[in-house]
Amino acid sequence: MKYRLTILFIFILFVPISLMLWFGQKSFINEQKLLQAENAKRGDAILEESHLNIDIFLREIKSEISTQLLKINWTNNSNFHENLLGQPLIKQVFITDNKGKLLFPLKDDESNPDGIEFVKRTKNVWLNKSFKTEVINKLSGINSVKNKLSNSMFYANQKGSRGNISKRLVDGFLTWYWEEGLNLLYWCENPKGYIVGAEINFAYLKARLIGRLPNRLIHPGTIKLIDSRSAVIYQWGDYEINEKANPLAKLRVQYPLDSWTLQYYTRSQESLGRLKKVYDLALNTNLLFLGLFILFVGGWIGFYLWRDIKIIENRMSFVTQVSHELRTPLTNIRLYSELLGRIESSNEKHKKYISVIVQESERLSRLIQNVLTFNKDKNKTKENLSIVSLDINDLIENIILQEEPYLIQLGFKVELNLTTESNAFADKDSIIQIIGNVISNAEKYAKEGKYIGISSSEEKGFILIDIVDYGPGIPSSLLTKVFSPFFRIHNNLSDGVAGTGIGLTISKELAILNGGDLICMNVPKGSRFRLKLKKYKEV
């Protein structure tokens, strides 16, 4: 009892803590997810804000270069672009016709070695159709209202040969890979219908962009600008990024820098992660303790059960031995009292006393037999059965003949209605024991009915022996339970009914071992036990 209380106490302690932690963790994870989503949203906004810098920067670069390029007055003079080459952003200048065909520089113009180099490294651009189609598309697209490319264009006030016409500038970027990485061309249409373009000093463009990007981040965290090889181009912000950390938000930079990505990292992710670890640890520790505790309790209970079973087994073997010891003297008592009953000289009174002795010793021997059968190994019992053809009516009559005097003495009325004509296929001793037990049961519990009816009949290859009493009956919910060992409907000693509680159990087992069954059912006046036995079939 003391132990139970302790166990209960510990259980009460651990279970709620575990539950609390579990729910805490659940809600924490949810909260974290929510927070992360919120952070991601915030991260996106921060990146958008940073990208604005890049957007404005690219616009400025465009306008800067286009202003320079539109100054070109190309009259086949190879020095027309010297001034342009003094621009740090411009590496080379090129001119094409409005179909994207290169007019300057030419690949065989020996007076312009740099130009030859340029044509060589941009070879793919001139061979590839994509540039030409883009130029043609954009030039023709200007006339259509649905100009898809309007995003990448802007208005410029040109003072070209056509006069002061505010005209939409047709332009574009072009990227290609050569040697060590990304290269960038910018082109635009000049008033004379040529395409003037420049190879951009990409390293300088990158440097200018880095210069333009902020030194510090007003938000907590760090933003990284990375290139296509995941190398960091520039990063700003106070947060030291863990190498394994994943960015909270990502944003691809706009064309032509679309191989670059902006990434936002912030502290909150990591601290949340740390808190989660603490939570997990606490929960896991608690669960571990709980598990150990349950294991301990289980072992403890198991040990006690095992100990109890051992004790019961010891007691049973004691009972069996005692029963064995009782059997021999009882047999002698029966034998000599029967012999006494046969002596002629004895008067009626003596005879009556002797018959009581005989009956009681028979009852006692049945009880002992029950105890012995109960404790025997079932397989052994089965081996000892001698199942033979049996005239069941004859057997029942014999049993009743023996029991009748005692039953009559108790005021019972016995009725036989034996109708079967076939022999049963069963063990004689078993049947005697079963019917004896059932009748003894009726004697005990159906005293008020004062009636026992035994009938035999046949059904589908079975012989049915019904033993009916007019007792109080058995509640239908307990109809099968009455066969459980040590079960008594009223386990009350004050009822004055003595019993071992194993009679019916043994009877049912024996019936099953004989290939039949014993069942109990309610009838209007009382209860009925039906013994089902195999019919003997002559071969």
Partner 1 sequence: MKIYLMVCIYFTLFLVTYSDEKINTDKSVTLQVALSHGVLINGKKQKIYLKVSLIGIRKTIDAKRNPINLCIILDKSRSMIGAKLKQVKKSSRMILNLLDEDDIISFVTYDSRVITLIPATMGRDKGDLIKLIDGIKGHGSTALFAGVSKGLYEIEKNASTKYVNRIILLSDGMANVGSVSLKDMGDLGFAAAKNNISISTIGIGKGFNEELMSSLSANSDGSYGFAESPEQIDDLLKNEMKQLISVAGKRLKIKIECTQGVKPIKILDRIGTIRKDTITFSMNQIYNEQNKYILVELEVNNPIVIKGYSKLIDVQLNYILANSDKNSVLRAKAGISWTGIEEVKKRSINNNVMEKVVLSMAADQNRMAMLMFNEGNLEKTLENLQFTCGFLIRNNDSIQSTQIEKLEIITKQIQEDLNKNYSNRSKKAWKAYDNFNKTQNSLNQEYRYKQSASQQKIIIKKSSKKKKARTK
Residue 207 C-beta: closest distance to partner 1, Å:
4
- Pick the closer one to partner 1 by CB: 82 or 108: 82
- Pick the closer one to partner 1 by CB: 92 or 505: 92
DSSP state of 247: P
Helix H or strand E segment including 119: helix 113-121
Q: How many CB atoms lie within 10 A of CB 323?
A: 18
105 cis-preceded (ω within 30 degrees of 0): yes
Helix H or strand E segment including 519: strand 517-522
- Pick the closer one to partner 1 by CB: 184 or 510: 184
Residue 132 C-beta: closest distance to partner 1, Å:
27
| Nearest alpha carbon to residue 97 among 65, 136, 71 | 136
| Nearest alpha carbon to residue 395 among 420, 367, 413 | 420
Residue 287 C-beta: closest distance to partner 1, Å:
42
How big is the chain, counted in residues?
A: 539
Amino acid sitting at position 60: E
Residue 203 C-beta: closest distance to partner 1, Å:
4
- Pick the closer one to partner 1 by CB: 14 or 236: 236
Residue 216 C-beta: closest distance to partner 1, Å:
9
State the Cα–Cα distance between residues 106 and 391, nearest whole angstrom. Answer: 128
Place of tokens 């990284």: 224
Would you call 121 helix, strand, or coil by DSSP?
helix
Residue 74 C-beta: closest distance to partner 1, Å:
15
- Pick the closer one to partner 1 by CB: 79 or 143: 79
**Residues making contact with partner 1 (CB under 8 A):** 78-79, 82, 85-89, 91, 111-114, 179-181, 201-204, 206-212, 215, 227, 231-236
Residue 252 C-beta: closest distance to partner 1, Å:
19
CB of 264 closer than 8 Å to CB of 223: yes
- Pick the closer one to partner 1 by CB: 89 or 390: 89
- Pick the closer one to partner 1 by CB: 230 or 328: 230
Q: How many CB atoms lie within 10 A of CB 198?
A: 25
State the Cα–Cα distance between residues 504 and 501, nearest whole angstrom. Answer: 7
Amino acid sitting at position 47: L
